[in-house]
A and B are shown apart, each in its own frame.
Chain A
């Protein structure tokens, strides 16, 4: 499934644009609506879906995604529910690569091997676990690899060259560069140094998507000019919350269409 994710980045590059990576929290405002939202986002032109798995203690997330996760948990969302949602999206013909994005404890409690088998069966392409840095990643990456599911590593502004060099061993379909030190959605993104991106691209051998603080089509356009992929999360999550559940898919899809247009270099 690494191949399909990598192909999304390659195809975007061939078309002269950056790949749009769209984050949504599964279960917000409720599990059924969030499946419709993801489907709408995929059809509106997102190249990659990041589906957030709600967790009771999201210590790397800012207020918007914290609240989305609280709403989702109250509405009954769970890790098994997120896997069922991916299976449902595949049944509906959504072929866009899907990255499950979350925290490790739910996966650990399910059992990494069981999770890997169920994720592969559901149609998950890759998994990004915020609290598994490369030093601890093996306990999840190994069982996932058995089932052909990739891991997506995070790189931070604080990551040292020796840590970035270790990314090569993962052969990740892409790496996620956090554009600022902080939590999701907290500030607007600072300009990213193209030399830093080139260093990460070369060291990891993977395309680089940049996220944290990218909210508007204008933000996205500036980043699309220099990166392989642009991640938008909090702005989409805020759109979900900006009105009634029935209107959520179209509200989010409208922003995704604007963002997708902004990917063209």
Chain B
């Protein structure tokens, strides 16, 4: 089956929404640009030549398909048959590049001459800077000043790749403020600029387009597990910040009623402490960055409707919103959302390193941390696929500091 045929089977939003979630809550200035993007995406999505170009770059530049690896020692440790979908082995070290390749090809088809992006952990910034270099396009990256400090390695990578990195000093100086600043750039330079959003967030058509582009994770995993495991999996597990790697893994399985799905959010210091980023687990419906979805927002009179600070050891999950399709999956019960703390993520990172020799990103470690729970639900003979969304090199300083602080 061709990529266009596989993509055509994925859910399309209705009038820009997944259920009640999504929409286009943006400034009037951007509306024509968003309409233009939506039109371009509809055409590209059905166009075999678009997918031929994307698939060729994914195969020859990114290194796809990524491995589906049977993690036997980890399986024994958690008590189920665990397979890792190795997005950490992609060029640039995470799943983010899948989306960037697809959007960059689209930007070129649309004649846009400048790329901008927001980034949290820096993985999306690095992936965007990478495709900008590959396509010969100027690139500006907005990154919270707090994240610039804790992800210094990725900042250097972006600069080496030729991108300009703007530290954002406003608000909480993290991912949400980077997104505000990227929106300000886009509204100012809307004529020639393509805003390459890194997650399944933002106004329609981004949540739809990014999920389609990331669905290569689930489309490959489906073929690979049938080949290696002989059947569909019992469960899928992936971490959720904005939710792009989870959406990409889940979407091609969404009609398989027997495949259970688990999104793992960042519980930070613990959901009860208020210092967390567990938007679906502990937030409520609101409007942020162009879409209606779950958000972390204050409800007391004094701060009514202000966006709350998110907290996570993982910069990539440190976001007070979440993609609208996840909100719809939560409300329909199709996907279960759980959360894991900073400490649990660190322990899971160490577990994976020691049992399998794989150093995963702190974001990814949240998914690994939920494995025992999921294994308990599917049993010893259960097949689980974990979205191993990124590698952990960028987090080594953070991890080392935490380890030395606790020993």
Q: List CB contacts (< 8 Å) of A26-64 with chain B.
A: 55-60, 62
Q: Is the CB of A169 closer than 8 A to any CB of chain B?
A: no
Given the known A-B contacts A109-B299, A131-B287, are A56 and B306 also in contact in the complex, defined by CB atoms under 8 Å?
A: yes
How near does chain A come to B120, taking the closest CB pair, in angstroms?
Answer: 15
Query: Chain B residues with Cβ under 8 A from A56's Cβ?
Result: 171, 306-307
Query: What residues of chain A lie closer than 8 Å to B25, measured between beta carbons?
Result: 104, 131-133, 136
Tell whether, in the assembled complex, residue A57 and residue B307 are in contact, meaning their CB atoms are under 8 Å apart.
yes
Contact A108 B287 (CB under 8 A): yes
Chain B residue at minimum C-beta to C-beta distance from A153: B28
Q: Is the CB of B171 within 8 A of A105?
A: no
Contact among A70, A106, A160, A181 for B187, CB-based, below 8 A: A181
Query: Closest CB of chain B to A68's CB: distance in Å?
Result: 12
Does the CB pair A136–B23 fall under 8 Å? yes
Q: Give the CA-CA distance A76 to B284 in the complex, in Å.
A: 23
Contacting residues, chain A, for B288 (C-beta < 8 A): 57, 105
Q: Is the CB of B304 within 8 A of A178?
A: no
Asked if A106 and B33 make an inter-chain contact with CB atoms under 8 angstroms apart, the answer reads no
Contacts of B303 in A (CB 8 A): 73, 78
Dominant secondary structure of chain A at its interface with chain B: loop
B180 touches A158 (CB 8 A): no
Residue contact B290 to A131, C-beta cutoff 8 Å = yes
Q: Is A154 interfacial (CB 8 A cutoff)?
A: yes
Q: Which of B317-362 contact A (CB under 8 A)?
A: none
Across the interface, do A182 and B188 meet the contact criterion of CB distance under 8 Å?
yes
Whether A76 contacts B302 by the Cβ 8 Å rule is: yes
| Interface pair B170/A66, CB less than 8 Å apart | yes
Hey, which chain A residues are within 8 Å of B189, CB to CB? 181
Interface residues of A (CB under 8 A from B): 55-60, 62, 66, 70, 73, 76, 78-81, 104-110, 130-136, 153-160, 163, 178, 181-183, 186
The residues in B between 295 and 324 inclusive whose CB is less than 8 angstroms from any CB of A are 295, 297, 299, 301-307
> In the complex the two chains form, is B286's CB within 8 Å of A60's CB?
no
Contact A157 B304 (CB under 8 A): no
Q: Which residues of B contact A106 (CB under 8 A)?
A: 304-306
Known contacts A78-B302, A80-B301; A133/B31 CB under 8 A: yes
A76-B302, A78-B304, A104-B287 known; A159 vs B170 contact (CB < 8 Å): no
Q: Is the CB of B287 within 8 A of A133?
A: no
Looking at the complex, which one of A59, A132, A156 makes contact with B184 (CB distance below 8 Å)?
A: A59
Q: B10: which A residues are within 8 A, CB to CB?
A: none
B289 at the interface (CB under 8 A from A): yes
- Contact yes or no, A110 B187, CB < 8 A: no
Q: Which A residue sits closest to B172, measured CB to CB?
A: A56
How distant is B171 from chain A, measured CB to nearest CB, in Å?
A: 6
How far apart are the CA atoms of A178 and B190 in the complex, in Å? 14
* Distance, CA A188 to CA B190, complexed state (A): 18
Task: Assess the B28–A155 pair: CB atoms within 8 A.
Answer: yes
- Interface pair A130/B304, CB less than 8 Å apart: no
Contact (Cβ within 8 A) B180 A59: yes
Chain B window 175-217, contacts with chain A (Cβ cutoff 8 Å), 1 for yes, 0 for no: 0110110011001111100000000000000000000000000
Does B31 contact A181, Cβ atoms closer than 8 Å?
Answer: no
Cβ-defined contact, A154 with B27, below 8 A: yes
B105 partner residues in chain A, CB cutoff 8 A: none
* Other contacts beyond A79-B304, A131-B26: 6, CB < 8 A: A59-B183, A109-B286, A130-B27, A154-B28, A158-B28, A186-B188
How far apart are the CA atoms of A203 and B188 in the complex, in Å? 26
Q: How far is the CA of A56 from the CA of B174 in the complex (A)?
A: 13
Nearest A residue to B300 via CB reads A78
Shortest B281–chain A CB gap in Å is 18
15 A-B residue pairs with CB within 8 Å: A73-B306, A78-B302, A104-B287, A107-B305, A108-B286, A131-B26, A133-B26, A133-B27, A156-B27, A156-B28, A156-B29, A157-B29, A158-B31, A158-B190, A182-B187
Contacts of B170 in A (CB 8 A): 66, 70
